[in-house]
Structure 1
Amino acid sequence: MYFNGIYHEFYQYNLNGPIFGDIVWGHSVSTDLVNWIGLEPALVRDTPSDIDGCWTGSVTILPGGKPIIIYTGGDIDQNQAQNIAFPKNRSDPYLREWIKADNNPVLRPDEPGMNSIEFRDPTTGWIGPDGLWRMAVGGELNGYSAALLYKSEDFLNWTKVDHPLYSHNGSNMWECPDFFAVLPGNNAGLDLSAAIPQGAKHALKMSVDSVDKYMIGVYDLHRDAFVPDNVVDDRRLWLRIDYGTFYASKSFFDSNKNRRIIWGWSRETDSPSDDLAKGWAGLHTIPRTIWLAGDGKQLLQWPVEEIESLRTNEINHQGLELNKGDLFEIKEVDAFQHCGEAGASVPGGIGPFGLVILASDNMDEHTEVYFRVYKSQEKYMVLMCSDLRRSSLRPDLEKPAYGGFFEFDLEKERKISLRTLIDRSAVESFGGGGRVCITSRVYPAVLADVGSAHIYAFNNGSATVRVPQLSAWTMRKAQVNVEKGWSAI
């Protein structure tokens, strides 16, 4: 959340080491979304309703500037319920201490058909036209996946609405649901509790099958239900927030700059013994601005502008032409199946072209981020890939080839943008202005320092690729959780 000039990030954290379990709410604060101060945990496991863990939840800012946390707690039998916490001292700019409500848990899965161990991750609350608060909770109802809907007058006493916000007959419950309003073609954010402008759409995001998926539709105020623009029964075909290692994302409305920001969790893809050696496991992606494309069909994402404050030593090339087989070094600085079967070395018509990054001197280790352009009837489709299969000589790593498609008007647009952020083991790539995003985790074995790695632009397609602008920067280290003495990454 953004509150009184400070950004707060709460996260799932194990005080006892880089392994799963003993989950509390970690808490870090920032004024710029780049440099962070680590604080004491905001919530710890110390009551009967959260002794098994203080699991995911949300913060809502009530009228009068009153932040309130609602989170999932697990009891000794792993039954899940929703709990409330308030700041102990709202005059503390960092809101270091939080007090749990006396009547916790405020919400139990005690209605027929509900699964008591699959009931978690409440969304940020919003106010409806009747003045009542609403929130959605991920759950399993009569064997269906659902974003369960609840109402409240005071945010303390909740009543279940007789139908979900939305449900699906899939058997895997939806974790970390998110629900927010978006305006086609406008990258400004919308506060769901404020008046929603005419023409706005709504996005319903859920974490399922180890990835984050979403639907675009409308919020029917009379029915109190989300209605997708396109109903797709096969959830494998739902839209993706990110096509790589990215899960359990959460967005918030940033009143500071009138935008909606989304974060995702990227898990480690090396081994548990590596995590113990590092002393940490899992990271959060760079905060992204998220908005709805002009055609109203998909969400777009882009790194927040603040990250550019870390840029130094710009390298700039203009007017490059890359012919088949060209490799241009940038110095000093189901789509899955398609990407796997036709790697960057397999020539095509328009593409593959893109970047080779984190490359060792002899190219034994390298990661490829690239495009292929396909003609599909009267339109073009672009396949974006992040191929990790040769990213490391270590045999014990996950090294997949990630990929996602997006539509592209080649005759009208002519240019395809690619932006890639590289930070040690994290590679975040944004293609086509944020139409496809891929987060990858790579662990080169022979590169002692990322600064010694090579970056190349390449083209292995028969068509010449012209690069009107190619820029690269060295990035300074952000200060991450400095009060705890943790090293910057």
Structure 2
Amino acid sequence: MSFENTLVQGAPSRPEFHFTPPNGWMNDPNGLVFFEGEYHLFYQYYPAAMVWGPMHWGHAVSTDLVHWTHLDAALLPDDDGMCFSGSAIVDSSDCCGLFGGKPGLIAFYTAHRVLSDAPNDYVQEQCIAYSSDKGRSWQKYAGNPVIAPPGFRDFRDPKVVWHEQSQHWIMALACGQSIRFYRSTNLLDWTLASEFGAGQGRHTTGPWECPDLFELPVEGGEGSRWVLVVGVGASEDNWGSFTQYFVGDFDGVHFHNENAAPEVLLMDESRDFYAVQSWSDVADGRRLAIAWMNNWLYANQIPENGWRGNMSVVRELALVATDAGIRLRQDFAREFGGQAAQAQKSLPASVSLSAGQDYRDEGAQGPGYGRTSLTLSPCAAVALYLQQYAWPDLELSLEAGALSLSHRREGQSGDERFERYFAHDFSVAAGNAPRIELEWFSDHGSLEVLVNGGLISLTSLCFSPGGGQAPVIAVTEGQAVIESLTWSLFDGAEQDDNQSVA
């Protein structure tokens, strides 16, 4: 079997279980909020072209996180500038005074105003818009901006949360290479509280972006912790844009990182999981998040077919106590487990394989979900084929008791920048035991893999023909035991994603 992944020329098929815009360009998810039975998904949107341009807030709603209905764009550029990334909340007690005593929705966004044709000559300020009709129409606040420009350029992506202990609304803002925290009691008047970032985590030549802030209980530990998620903007001195997170305490003023300042915790070890945002006000208390599946090094060059860009599958986030410390764990949202399938199969009993042997099922191709548990002998190596039989999507190896997981990607599209940056080849440490668990979701143009209960995430665009198949597990060295294997191939018949309101 060849270990060569070559992008097939031609337009990609629209994903069946990953959100895409109806047309044009899409990047960051924005304004994720649950209100009166609906999940709202806003996103950075430019309907007039296949590349980034004057930013709108696209808008869709769902009752199950799988089937989405497109609505009219919620926020449009105007004389104050483009509508950059941000967040949304339910003002249930009308503390802002804009809803006549009733609950309403408030969106926080960055107005990005270009001042001249000179590069980097722009100003960014924080604004709000509000809706009294379940998000169907939006009014920009007459008193904008609610936070004026502070005197430096990169000042954007407001994430607003309620901090119960201090009885204040908190806004986390990306400010160059740091995150600033602001406080308010009425959502309109904001005061700078503190700044976090100097010497913390990973810094590149790209700016910090798209912060998120939330509290979660610790599974297998005591109490709860606060999580600060930060996107790190693309720079050519690394693998492009990526997402890191910090675990610690937030007292309503300061965020305290409980890990060593230089330690870097990544939400995803691959190349296409960026601008992560979580939903506010979810009724059942879950922390649900979604990411833009792309990378700024090649985002404007990926194949398109009337639209460009898609989101990840919605994830459920949790904190767990591990030997290395408290870490984020991710699961695919439980709503994705009930889709109609062409084939639902499982391995009836464990299977032992030696070098040169493989387990396969000639199943139909299409989007699919699967999971497996493998045990490797010392010095064993295994190749997994989840998208196409022509090349492995993942390779596992066990040496000196340490597991590693490798992924290689190549691509040919005729675009020099795409072919220079889309290709990658990397390995990830996956533990010090011979057993590994994998869970994956494949679709047209993408593959998402969760490792060892979701402690490791690998999210990749994979522009290959097919987009899902019955898995093939091949042992290339030593021996391996497939302890369990289940998979479902979805026909997408019930998927009305990308349906528009007439």
TM-score by length of 2: 0.77
Matches for 1:87-486 after TM superposition, within 5 Å: 87-90=131-134, 95-110=135-150, 114-115=151-152, 117-140=153-176, 145-161=177-193, 163-168=194-199, 170=203, 172-185=206-219, 199-209=223-233, 210-221=241-252, 224-233=253-262, 238-244=264-270, 245-253=272-280, 255-267=282-294, 275=303, 278-295=305-322, 296-312=325-341, 313-317=343-347, 318-333=349-364, 349-360=378-389, 363=390, 366-375=391-400, 381-389=402-410, 397=419, 398-408=422-432, 410=433, 415-444=435-464, 447=465, 449-450=466-467, 455-462=471-478, 464-477=479-492, 478-483=495-500
Task: Label 1:96 to 1:139 Cα distance change in 2 as closer, same or farther (>3 A).
Answer: same
The one of the two structures with greater contact order (alpha-carbon pairs below 8 A, sep at least 6) is 2
Q: For residues 374 and 252 of structure 1, do their structure 2 counterparts lie closer, same or farther at Cα, with a shift above 3 Å needed?
A: farther
Q: How does 1:48-63 map to 2 (within 5 A)?
A: 48-49=79-80, 51=81, 53-63=82-92
CA distance in 2, matches of 1:219, 1:370: 40
Deviations 1:322-341 (A, max 9, x none): 222222213214xxxxxxxx
Aligned residues: 421
Distance 1:37 1:289 in 2: 22
> Residue 198 and residue 151 in structure 1: after superposition, are their counterparts in 2 closer, same or farther (change >3 A)?
farther
Percent identity between the aligned chains? 24
User: Would you say the 8 A contact 2:35–2:281 is kept in 1?
Assistant: no
| Cα distance, 1:459 vs structure 2 | 2.0
2:222 & 2:169 partners in 1: Cα distance? 21
Deviation at 1:54, TM superposition (A): 0.5
The amino acid of 1:24's aligned partner reads H
Partners of 1:349 and 1:461 within 8 A in 2 = no
Please give the secondary structure, in 2, of the residue aligned with 1:472: strand
Give the letter aligned to residue 159 of structure 2: T
Query: TM-score w.r.t. structure 1 length?
Result: 0.79
**In 1: Cα distance, 2:245 partner to 2:423 partner:** 26
**Whole-Å separation in 1 of the counterparts to 2:37 and 2:229:** 28
Larger deviation: 170-179 or 2-11? 170-179
> Do the aligned partners of 1:9 and 1:28 also contact (CA within 8 Å) in 2?
yes
Shift of 1:232: 3.3
Q: Check 1:96–1:350 CA distance in 2 against 1; reply closer, same or farther (3 A cut).
A: farther
Deviates more, 1:264-273 or 1:18-27: 264-273
**Correspondence 1:29-40 to 2 at 5 A:** 29-40=61-72
The answer (yes or no) to whether the contact 2:384–2:393 under 8 Å persists in 1 is: yes
CA contact 2:85–2:157 (8 Å) conserved in 1: yes
**CA–CA distance in structure 2, aligned partners of residues 185 and 330 of structure 1:** 37
Equivalent-residue separation in structure 1 for 2:463 and 2:298 (angstroms): 8
Output the CA distance in 2 between the equivalents of 1:123 and 1:271.
Answer: 24
Distance in 2 (CA, whole Å) between partners of 1:328 and 1:134 is 52
Mark the CA change 1:348 to 1:22 in structure 2 (over 3 Å): closer, same or farther. Answer: farther
- Map residues 40-79 of structure 1 onto 2, 5 A cutoff: 40-46=72-78, 48-49=79-80, 51=81, 53-64=82-93, 65-77=103-115, 78-79=122-123
- What is the SS of the residue equivalent to 1:330? coil
Separation in 2, partners of 1:176, 1:374: 38
Structure 2 runs not aligned, ≥5 long: 1-32, 94-102, 116-121, 234-240, 365-375
Structure 1 residues without counterparts, runs of 5 or longer: 187-196, 334-346
CA contact (8 A) 1:166 1:225 kept: no
| CA deviation after TM superposition for structure 1 residue 38, in Å | 0.5
